[in-house]
Amino acid sequence: MHRSLQVGPFTVSVDTPITQVIDNIDRHYADHPLAKGDFCDFHLNLERPRNLRRWVRPQVHFSVDGHTPFTPLPLSQSYALFEWGLNWCFSVHMHRYLLIHSAVVERNGKLLILPGTPGAGKSTLCAALVSRGWRLFSDEIAVIDPVTLQTQPVPRPINIKNQSIDVIRDFAPHLEIGEIVQDTTKGTVAHVTPPLDSIRRQQEMAIPAWVIFPKYTPGSTTRLSPMQGDQALLTLASNAFNYHIHGARGFACLSEIVAQANFARLAYSDLDDVIRTLDRTVAEI
CATH code assigned at 247: 3.40.50
Give the type of residue at 263.
F
Q: Which of 58, 74, 93 is the last residue of a domain?
A: 93
pLDDT at 116: 82
pLDDT band at 56 (very low <50, low <70, confident <90, very high): low
Averaged pLDDT, 124-140: 97
Q: In the prediction, which pLDDT does 214 show?
A: 95
Q: What is the mean pLDDT of the chain?
A: 93
Residue 213 pLDDT > 80: yes
Do 102 and 232 lie in a common domain?
A: yes
Q: Are residues 154 and 180 in the same domain?
A: yes
| 184 plus 269 within the same structural domain | yes
Q: Cα-flanking dihedrals φ and ψ of residue 143, to 5°?
A: -110, 100
**Consecutive H or E run containing 205:** none
Residue 79 and residue 110 in one domain? no
Which pLDDT band holds residue 282 (cuts at 50, 70, 90)? confident
Q: Do 88 and 100 belong together in one domain?
A: no
**Contact by Cβ (8 Å): 102, 142:** yes
Does 136 share its domain with 249?
A: yes
Question: Do 77 and 115 belong together in one domain?
Answer: no
Which range marks the domain in which residue 1 is found?
1-93
Beta bridge partners of 191: 159
Q: Among 25-39, 150-164, 165-179, where is mean pLDDT lowest?
A: 25-39
Is residue 261 within 8 A of residue 208, CB to CB? The reply is yes
Q: How many domains does the chain have?
A: 2
- Helix (H), strand (E) at residue 18: none
Instruction: Supply the DSSP string of 108-177, one letter for each residue.
Output: TTEEEEEE--TTS-HHHHHHHHHHTTPEEEESSEEEE-TTT--EE-----EEEETHHHHHHHHH-TTS-B
Separate counts of helices (H) and strands (E) for the chain: 9, 16
Q: Are residues 248 and 205 in the same domain?
A: yes
Return the percentage of the chain with pLDDT > 70, whole number: 98
Instruction: Report the pLDDT value the prediction gives residue 16, as an integer from 0 to 100.
Output: 97
Torsion of CA 272, 276, 281, 282, to 10 degrees: 90
53 has a pLDDT exceeding 70? no
Indicate whether 171 and 101 sit together in one domain.
Answer: yes
Q: Which of 69, 70, 73, 44 is nearest to 60 (CA)?
A: 73
Average pLDDT estimate for 131-150: 96
Q: Which of 93, 112, 140 is the last residue of a domain?
A: 93
b/e sequence 223-240, b meaning 16+ C-beta within 10 Å: ebeebeeeebbeebbebb
- Residue whose C-alpha is closest to residue 157's, from 123, 125, 183, 133: 123
Q: Which of 36, 70, 93 is the last residue of a domain?
A: 93
Within this chain, do residues 247 and 270 fall inside the same structural domain, yes or no?
A: yes
pTM (2 d.p.): 0.93
Q: Judge if 134 and 244 occupy the same domain.
A: yes
pLDDT digit string, tens, across residues 113-124: 999 877 788 999
Query: In what helix (H) or strand (E) does residue 204 lie, and over which residues does it extend?
Result: none
Mean pLDDT on 224-247:
92
| Mean pLDDT on 93-110 | 95
Asked whether residue 45 falls in the same domain as residue 110, the answer is no
